[in-house]
Structure 1
Amino acid sequence: MIVTVYLPLLATLPLAWLAPMLGRRCAPAVAARLLTFLAGLAALVTLGALGLLMIGATLRRPELSREVATQIADGDSVPAWLGALASVGLAAGLIRLGRILARQRHAAQALHHAIAAHTPGSDQELVVVPDSACHAFAVPGRCGGRGRIVVSTAMLRALDASERRALLAHERAHLRHRHHRHALLLAAAQAVNPLLARLRAEGEFQIERWADEHSAHTTSRPIAARSLAAAALHPGDGRD
């Protein structure tokens, strides 16, 4: 029980703090993939450990058959209070996970409906919306369909032609490399294990760096930097 449950569960604690430092020593694309993998692994370990603790405590109940109870070594028995805590933690994690997945689904549906209403009958990649606030974001396609890039008119006015190319390259990187899947897995991992919040934040930061690097390679590093700086200088901006 110590090797199969307690040690893996405790290992998620230093992982949540050490993984971001490891990620910063790698290229953004490698770091984002690595942190996403580690977050998913830590979440699975957390679910498995909590589940085993809950089962271990349940098997100690006196109403179970003696044959089943004697299969558990005395040193591997789980206290009832620990099993109860594991049950609560497992249930809370699954509830948070379900809420995140539901919110993600509803948000994606709302975005696709809004885009369809704004550009009826069109499947163009770039969608320009009239808005006084600066924002730009990528919307993944449904069922493998084409993704869309939504940019406000205020954002376009804030950038020159070369900076616009850098901005679009940044958003295309999100679509091409399916960054929304990385972000969703990071969010799901934190829902299962809240101690992974720092790992999630670093993973999302590396995803943005990954897109920035793609933008820099597509245009140039100075142009990509100017585009990022120009977008950041406008209050209320959003760039994902």
Structure 2
Amino acid sequence: MRYLSFIILLLAFLISSCGTTERMGAPDTDNTTKSTSSSSKKIEDGKASWYGPNFHGKLTANGEKYDMYALTAAHRTLPFNSIIKVKNLDNGQSVTVRINDRGPYAKNRIIDLSKKAAQEIDMLGAGTARVSLILMEGDLENSRVTDLKTPTYTVQLASYRKKDKAFSHSRKISGSRVETIILDSQKVYRVYYGRYTDKDTARQKKRMLAQKGYKGYVKQIEN
């Protein structure tokens, strides 16, 4: 009886071990799920280009110096510091970049990669590539970006630390508005006028306001 009980226990152990090995050893064929986080989101398909030596060391749109050896990129509308995975649809290679500049403005191009980023997905020679953009870090749902392909401009007339001063300024200018902006972890209150998808129209409004004594400048609505 002791021998029979030993045989039964041994068989049970072997069956249990085989089941565990099968679960743990099953291949994961979903490479997309494996390589992206649960919060990642595909946001755009189109053509990528790259920029290099002629811009190296010059200021980017967010005030940094462009470094063609860093993994950065320019996009028309994505909020600065968004982290984007760029997948080359021609060869399957991917690179992750940080948005710190504006562009490209050539027709049918959706992102301008640094030289280093272009090299990572093997598109230096071709100059362009078909890509998918996947948002890895960033918040589009709570941003002021309404169209990824079309920048929106406004005229900034003033910026205040105190809310009441901003509203006092705004009341003098019909059609203006006050928006709360987080800058260096602090709130500032800015007075804006209008929203325009055409930059020249925004410049015309700026000149019109200047003639009335309200100076300002045209800026892109970032986020």
Alignment TM-score, normalising by the size of structure 1: 0.23
Alignment TM-score, normalising by the size of structure 2: 0.24
* Between structures 1 and 2, the one with greater strand share: 2
Question: For the pair shown, which has the larger CA radius of gyration, 1 or 2?
Answer: 2
* Between structures 1 and 2, the one with greater helix share: 1
Specify which structure has the bigger relative contact order, considering alpha-carbon pairs within 8 angstroms and separated by 6 or more residues.
1
